[in-house]
């Protein structure tokens, strides 16, 4: 297994529960997956909601606890409670098929041979920066959500926030009180959802993403399918004008962004000090490129968690399972299918005690 965030730990739990001979490799220095790196101001009050890991409960936490502390502590306890041994830090550079085994090659040259692979490497390692002409010429600062330094860095600045997802909405609310001025631009008109996020809504969104990846198309995030929730805070921000949205600009120059005008008229421009790209992430799967899993649609065709090209390779936390809602189920399904493929009988049941999962 590669990756030990929410999706990886869920699969590791089921590997352990079924007594499957396995090894779990993870690039981080400690437990928590990408939560270790979330920005300081993302708290348990502002996360979208966390689903518990299998056979456990998310601990009750003060709303103001930073997610980057709370979730890693929960994951650390979980690994401990269920005796999930994760080898860290191990970064896998590539996975190759030698005709018999899948071989995962680590940055330090170590090799791990396996008959099947569960890959759970998330998206945090691959921030997405869309290309707009002139981006490299801009003389101000540019940050991606991934590197958001906190609202202080925006004090007194003119800021363009780019992107129509929940992170753009959250960061706009954070920086609006301190900036000199801001603009919010998105490619499409944002879709606001004025109803509670129910499990039915979640399931419908997961099914929609599942259908895309079955057809070999690149996945969309589940949150992008559900729309933006109109919480009381977001409603207030809209009413105060903080979330006034403009269409995407067409280019960037040294000092700002520009919207192309009709021939004969001047472009419209906005001078900016900072461009904040809240433009999401892509699946961090470069290490799997030697396996040629991608098809013509640009995505990896999937049947459940299994890749269609190579049934030994399962992706959890990818596409429909790329949220804490889908990750648990995906871990269970992947382990069941791999055991079926390898002809293994069911193992000992709920993991207890602390003996090793690494054989």
Ligand X SMILES: Cc1cc2nc3c(=O)[nH]c(=O)nc-3n(C[C@H](O)[C@H](O)[C@H](O)COP(=O)(O)OP(=O)(O)OC[C@H]3O[C@@H](n4cnc5c(N)ncnc54)[C@H](O)[C@@H]3O)c2cc1C
What is the DSSP annotation of 232-261? HHHHHHHHTTTT-EEEPPSEE-SSEEEEPP
CB atoms within 10 A of CB 129: 12
Q: Is 299 in the site for ligand X (CB under 6 A)?
A: no
**Pick from 160, 153, 164: which is nearest to 138 by CA?**
160
Q: Is 102 in the site for ligand X (CB under 6 A)?
A: no
Q: Is 47 in the site for ligand X (CB under 6 A)?
A: yes
Q: Is 3 in the site for ligand X (CB under 6 A)?
A: yes
Of the candidates 54, 164, 229, 317, which one interacts with ligand X according to CB under 6 A? 317
Angle between helices 6-17 and 324-341 (to 10 degrees): 40
Q: Is 288 in the site for ligand X (CB under 6 A)?
A: no
Q: How far is the CB of 186 from ligand X (least distance, A)?
A: 17
User: What does the block give as tokens for 165?
Assistant: 């997802």
Q: Is 324 in the site for ligand X (CB under 6 A)?
A: yes
Sign of CA dihedral 174, 176, 182, 184: positive
For ligand X, which is the closer residue by CB, 117 or 176?
Answer: 117
**Pick from 328, 356, 346, 336: which is nearest to 55 by CA?**
328
Of the candidates 1, 12, 23, 34, which one interacts with ligand X according to CB under 6 A? 34
Which range binds ligand X by CB under 6 A, 26-34, 269-277, 299-307, 336-344? 26-34
Question: Are 112 and 104 a contacting pair, CB within 8 Å?
Answer: yes
Q: Is 5 in the site for ligand X (CB under 6 A)?
A: yes
Q: Is 122 in the site for ligand X (CB under 6 A)?
A: yes
- Partner residues linked to 307 by β-bridges: 302
For ligand X, which is the closer residue by CB, 142 or 251?
Answer: 142
Q: Is 43 in the site for ligand X (CB under 6 A)?
A: no
CA separation for the pair 196, 174 (Å, rounded) = 23
Which range binds ligand X by CB under 6 A, 3-11, 16-24, 178-186, 235-243? 3-11
Of the candidates 16, 17, 38, 68, which one interacts with ligand X according to CB under 6 A? 38
| The pairing of beta strand 111-114 with beta strand 102-106 | antiparallel
Of the candidates 1, 11, 24, 92, which one interacts with ligand X according to CB under 6 A? 92
Which range binds ligand X by CB under 6 A, 110-118, 186-194, 261-269, 320-328? 320-328
CA separation for the pair 61, 59 (Å, rounded) = 6
Q: How far is the CB of 95 from ligand X (least distance, A)?
A: 9
Residues 251-280 that bind ligand X (CB under 6 A): none
Which range binds ligand X by CB under 6 A, 45-53, 256-264, 290-298, 335-343? 45-53
Report angle CA 335, 336, 337 to the nearest 5 degrees.
90
Instruction: Supply the DSSP symbol for 51.
Output: P
Of the candidates 26, 79, 210, 273, which one interacts with ligand X according to CB under 6 A? 26
CA distances from 334 to 10, 11, 30, 193, 263 (A): 10, 7, 24, 32, 55
Chain contacts with ligand X (rule: CB under 6 A): 2-8, 25-28, 33-34, 38, 47-50, 90-92, 120-122, 124-125, 167, 281, 284, 287, 317, 323-325, 327
């Amino acid at each position: 297994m590669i990756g030990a965030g929410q999706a990886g730990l869920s699969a590791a739990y089921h590997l352990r529960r079924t007594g499957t001979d396995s090894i779990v490799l993870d690039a981080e220095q400690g437990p928590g997956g990408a939560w270790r790196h979330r920005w300081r101001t993302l708290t348990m009050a502002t996360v979208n909601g966390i689903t518990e890991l299998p056979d456990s409960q998310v601990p009750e936490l003060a709303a103001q606890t930073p997610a980057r502390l709370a979730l890693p502590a929960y994951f650390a306890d979980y690994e401990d409670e269920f005796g999930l041994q994760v080898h860290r830090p191990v970064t896998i550079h590539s996975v190759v098929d030698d005709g018999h085994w899948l071989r995962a090659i680590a940055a330090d040259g170590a090799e791990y041979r396996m008959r099947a692979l569960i890959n759970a490497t998330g998206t945090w390692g691959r921030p997405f920066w869309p290309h707009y002409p002139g981006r490299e010429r801009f003389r101000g600062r540019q940050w991606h959500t991934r590197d958001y330094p906190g609202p202080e860095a925006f004090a007194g600045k003119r800021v363009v926030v780019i992107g129509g997802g929940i992170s753009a909405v959250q960061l706009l609310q954070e920086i609006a009180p301190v900036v000199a001025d801001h603009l919010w631009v998105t490619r499409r008109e944002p879709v606001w959802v004025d109803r509670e996020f129910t499990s039915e809504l979640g399931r419908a969104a997961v099914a929609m993403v599942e259908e895309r990846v079955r057809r070999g198309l690149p996945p969309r995030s589940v949150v992008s399918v559900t729309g933006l929730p109109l919480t009381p805070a977001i409603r207030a921000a809209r009413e105060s004008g903080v979330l006034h949205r403009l269409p995407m600009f067409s280019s960037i120059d040294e000092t700002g962004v520009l919207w192309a005008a009709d021939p004969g008229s001047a472009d419209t421009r906005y001078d900016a000090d900072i461009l904040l790209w809240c433009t999401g992430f892509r699946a961090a799967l470069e290490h799997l490129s030697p396996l040629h899993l991608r098809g013509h649609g640009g995505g990896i065709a999937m049947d459940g968690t299994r890749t269609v090209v190579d049934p030994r390779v399962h992706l959890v936390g990818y596409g429909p399972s790329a949220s804490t809602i889908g990750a648990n189920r995906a871990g269970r399904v992947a382990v069941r299918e791999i055991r079926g493929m390898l002809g293994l009988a069911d193992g000992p049941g709920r993991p207890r005690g602390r003996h090793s999962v690494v054989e």
